[in-house]
């Protein structure tokens, strides 16, 4: 039995994995229990999974993940209460079935806004009341900033302005209680324009008394990008506001963007690419350790290379045949060079 990742980083930060309910069995369950002390749902807790139609709740998959975390004494991150993607369209339809965003009458626009905020509050209240004893960290809103640093022009934003962000955090706090940790989660938080836009929003929200406890950095990164300097600067900037940081969706793609050079099979991936990935894992985990109390959790967006959302993109950009391999366990659950570099 190899040493455990969770033990290695004990007292520094949690080690988490994103899972689908069907992954909680067999080899994957064994790896989870040994190497990880935190879980998050890859899809099962998104609005479209939990409330596909208004008032129709589907808890099955989410409950399974909660059960597993409970049974094995793992932390649980909740992903995600509010997002522009994987959200059912009924949220944004008025009572006549029309798209709220198209409304031009100002009185009706205000009514729509209130209706949307009410639906969001009902969603948050229902979910939080069910899981508040199990979840320690909540992604309250996900990806609300565009790469430019401007606010993302989503239906949420077009209908409510930034009120949805404020109300989402306030509602989460109200039902989850003071001990719950509430996060604003996003990708490319290392990119200066985006980092600064996120910072301006968070600073402004904190001034208004909005209960934000921390920033979730997705960290869908590559071997050569982003730089360690930009990564460090982003953590430092948010800790400077007194906020916690969590790495919420770590994967290190073997490829640049777009991944149009993806290898068609695992066998064809050269050993030196895995070595370069291992070096990158080593550097990034050293950076994480150096953050001390400013970083409380590091979650991988999967367990092993056989199941990663990056495969969809590798395939899409490489003529339907590419694979990616972004984790420290390979497609057969064996440890990779990357594993040895972060355990030593």
Hey, which residues are catalytic here?
249
- Tell me: does residue 37 bind ligand XIL (CB under 6 A): no
Q: Are 129 and 289 in contact (CB under 8 A)?
A: no
Distance of CA 247 to the CA centre of its chain: 8
- Tell me: does residue 43 bind ligand XIL (CB under 6 A): yes
CA distance 211 to 322: 43
Pairing of strands 137-142, 181-186: parallel
- Tell me: does residue 222 bind ligand XIL (CB under 6 A): no
- Tell me: does residue 152 bind ligand XIL (CB under 6 A): no
- Tell me: does residue 142 bind ligand XIL (CB under 6 A): yes
Q: Which residue, 143 or 244, has its beta carbon nearer to ligand XIL?
A: 143
Per-residue HEC secondary structure of 44-91 comes to: CCCHHHHCCECCECCCHHHHHHHHHHHHCCCEEEECCCECCCCCCHHH
Least Å distance, CB 296 to ligand XIL, is: 18
- Tell me: does residue 299 bind ligand XIL (CB under 6 A): no
- Tell me: does residue 121 bind ligand XIL (CB under 6 A): no
CA distance 277 to 252: 7
- Tell me: does residue 309 bind ligand XIL (CB under 6 A): yes
- List Cβ neighbours of 96 (8 Å cut-off, separation of 6 or more): none
Q: Which of 42, 213, 251, 305 binds ligand XIL (CB under 6 A)?
A: 42
Give the angle 232-205-111 at the CA atoms, nearest 5°. Answer: 135
Q: Which residue, 38 or 112, has its beta carbon nearer to ligand XIL?
A: 38
Least Å distance, CB 157 to ligand XIL, is: 17
**Nearest alpha carbon to residue 327 among 283, 287, 274:** 274
- Tell me: does residue 49 bind ligand XIL (CB under 6 A): no
CA distance 263 to 324: 8
Interface mask toward ligand XIL for 230-259; x: CB under 6 A: -------------------x----------
- Tell me: does residue 137 bind ligand XIL (CB under 6 A): no
Closest residue to ligand XIL, Cβ-based? 309
Residues that bind ligand XIL (CB under 6 A): 42-43, 142, 218, 249, 309
């Amino acid at each position: 039995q190899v040493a455990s990742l969770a033990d290695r980083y004990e007292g520094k930060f949690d080690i988490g994995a994103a899972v689908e309910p069907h992954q909680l069995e067999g080899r994957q369950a064994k790896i989870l229990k040994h190497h990880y002390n935190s879980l998050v749902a890859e899809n099962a807790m998104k609005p479209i999974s939990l409330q596909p139609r208004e008032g129709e709740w589907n808890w099955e998959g989410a409950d399974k993940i909660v059960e597993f975390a409970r049974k094995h004494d793992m932390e649980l991150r909740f992903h995600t209460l509010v997002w522009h993607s994987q959200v059912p369209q009924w949220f944004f339809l008025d009572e006549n079935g029309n798209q709220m965003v198209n409304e031009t009458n100002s009185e009706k626009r205000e009514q729509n806004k209130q209706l949307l905020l009410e639906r969001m509050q009902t969603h948050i209240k229902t979910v939080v009341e069910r899981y508040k004893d199990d979840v320690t960290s909540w992604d309250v809103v996900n990806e609300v900033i565009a790469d430019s640093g401007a606010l993302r022009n989503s239906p949420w934003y077009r209908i409510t302005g930034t009120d949805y962000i404020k109300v989402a955090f306030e509602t989460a706090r109200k039902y989850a209680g003071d001990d719950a940790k509430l996060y604003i989660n996003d990708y490319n938080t290392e990119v200066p324009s985006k980092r600064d836009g996120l910072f301006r929003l968070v600073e402004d929200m904190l001034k208004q008394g909005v209960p934000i406890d921390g920033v979730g950095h997705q960290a869908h990164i590559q071997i050569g990008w982003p730089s360690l300097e930009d990564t460090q600067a982003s953590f430092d900037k948010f800790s400077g506001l007194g906020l916690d940081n969590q790495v919420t969706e770590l994967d290190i793609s073997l490829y640049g963007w777009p991944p149009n050079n993806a290898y068609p099979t695992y066998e064809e991936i050269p050993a030196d690419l895995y070595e370069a990935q291992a070096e990158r894992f080593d550097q990034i985990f050293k950076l994480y350790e150096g953050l001390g109390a400013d970083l409380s959790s590091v979650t991988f967006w999967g367990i092993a290379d056989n199941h990663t959302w990056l495969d969809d993109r590798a395939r899409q950009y490489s003529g339907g045949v590419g694979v990616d391999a972004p984790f420290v366990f390979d497609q057969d659950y064996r440890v990779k060079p990357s594993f040895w570099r972060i355990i030593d």
